[in-house]
Amino acid sequence: MSGGALAVGDTLTEKVFTVTRADLVAYAHASGDHNPIHQDEQVALSVGLPGVIAHGMYTLALLGRAVAEWTGGAEVVDIGAKFTSPVVVPAEGGAEVVVGGTVKSVADGLVTLALEVTCGGQKVLGMPRAVVREGTVSA
């Protein structure tokens, strides 16, 4: 389903995105967040992390990407989540982040999406949420 009106209860087609360490380097440059825990295994381990982890904001950006793909680029008025579990990105290959959800409500011109974001079968975002403006779907 893309481009059509979103109705309460609609299931949004699951999106699978692969995150590599090269993506994290590109994101560090684009966002200005050069925290070494997202690039350097030794630093990540030294602060008690299981390895290099994706920026929480990278994972949230993937949620934004999924919303844009589902809605054809609708105007986002609210987006956010808790970063409850790290997305550990291996040196070789990548981590697969799965974004799915349903349309929770449509009211007052706003569409609220209830989302679930997982990596390796584990939820990585807590209370992920996006609200888009109805009628701004561009595709």
Task: By CB under 8 A, name the binding residues for another protein.
Answer: 17, 23, 26-27, 29-37, 43, 46-49, 55-58, 60-62, 64-65, 67-69, 73, 75-83, 126, 129-130
CB of 85 to another protein, least distance (A): 11
Q: How far is the CB of 101 from another protein (least distance, A)?
A: 15
Buried/exposed code over 78-101 (b: 16+ C-beta within 10 A; e: otherwise): ebebebebbbbbeeeebbebbbbb
Please state the closest distance from residue 127 (CB atom) to another protein, in A. Answer: 9
Pick the closer one to another protein by CB: 119 or 130.
130
| Cβ nearer to another protein, comparing 61 with 114 | 61
Q: Are 100 and 119 in contact (CB under 8 A)?
A: no
Give the residue carrying structure tokens 């808790």.
82
Q: What angle do CA 27, 116, 84 make, to 5 degrees?
A: 65
Q: Name the token pair of 19.
A: 């995150």
Is the CB of 3 or the CB of 9 nearer to another protein? 3
Residue with structure tokens 């449509």?
Answer: 106
Tokens of residue 41, six digits: 């295994």
Q: Judged by CB, which is closer to another protein: 30, or 108?
A: 30
